[in-house]
Copies of this chain bind each other. A is one copy, B any other.
């Protein structure tokens, strides 16, 4: 099996934070510098830089420094694996529910 788990860990933990989810939505509207993002989320440059770093490590954001400003944009990661994991989990829940239904059906048949 490929090393999907590290990717899942990174992305899920990147998403487990208000500020970072906010930054993603903000970058959805328009690219932004660190300064802009720090302003929008009322945080120091250094603090925002760290969040951006986390998002970049998770592949959710790419940055490019030209001159003295670093521009942040949404990355290539589309959260397909994360979506797939959740979908598979839900399918499992469904299957369990079906088995329960089935069980109740058979039990009812036997009891009555």
Contacts and interface: CB of A to CB of B under 8 A. Distances in A.
Interface of A: 5, 8-10, 12-13, 15-18, 21, 24-25, 28, 74, 78-79, 82-83, 85-87, 89-90, 92-93, 96
User: Copies of this chain, how many?
Assistant: 2
Contacts of A96: 28, 74
Contacts of A16: 8-10, 12-13, 16
A15 B85 CA distance: 10
Nearest to A87: B83
**Interface on chain A toward B: helix, strand, loop, or mixed SS?**
helix
A5 B15 CA distance: 11
Contacts of A10: 16
